[in-house]
Amino acid sequence: MSGVAAPAIEDHLIEVLLPSLWPDVQISRGHPGRWVKPDVAWLGPTVCTSAGQVCMGPLRLQDEPYEITVLISCTRAGDHTAQADADAAAWALLSALRDNLRAATTPNLGGTCVRAKLASYSLERSDDAELLEKHGRNATITAVLEVLART
């Protein structure tokens, strides 16, 4: 493979891996804007954490380390008692992704990666009173995948 690996990794995440793990989730590249499903996932920033390696000659391989952010948002109708359901749904989606990366014998994400793992994650709950009243309770997990690609 030549060139930057990020587009192939993102394509595989959006078109293959995430839809296979989460068939009922609306998945998009970038924020979906106004969503229609209660469960939504999208790609956030993709950062190459070390692009400074110099490689000479066309046969030399170059490793490209990336941090790819995947956001998972689950909304459940209801008052404060629905927050536990929103949290549980978000954690379940994250667990499916983590378990897939952990169990995959070749987590190559479209033929580009040497390894991929869930590096960090955090859950946030909405505190916007107007949104809570209109849509119910929301839990959003920001997950960072650490990926090593070879170009």
Q: Which stretch of DSSP H or E encloses residue 144? A: strand 137-150
**To 10 degrees, the CA torsion angle through 85, 75, 83, 92?**
40
How many angstroms separate the CA atoms of 36 and 27, rounded? 11
| One pLDDT digit (tens) per residue for the chain, 151 residues | 456 888 989 999 999 999 999 999 999 999 888 777 899 999 999 998 886 555 666 656 678 899 999 999 999 998 889 999 999 999 999 999 999 888 876 657 777 788 889 999 999 998 888 878 888 899 999 999 999 887 7
Measured in residues, the chain has a length of: 151
Inter-residue contact 10 to 30 (CB < 8 Å): no
Q: Phi and psi (nearest 5°) for 139?
A: -130, 125
- Hey, what are 35's tokens? 């969503």
Other residues' Cβ atoms within 10 Å of the Cβ of residue 102 = 10
Q: Is the dihedral of CA 134, 141, 37, 68 positive or negative?
A: positive
pLDDT confidence of residue 1 = 43
pLDDT confidence of residue 55 = 60
Other residues' Cβ atoms within 10 Å of the Cβ of residue 2 = 7
pTM over 0.75: yes
pLDDT confidence of residue 115 = 87
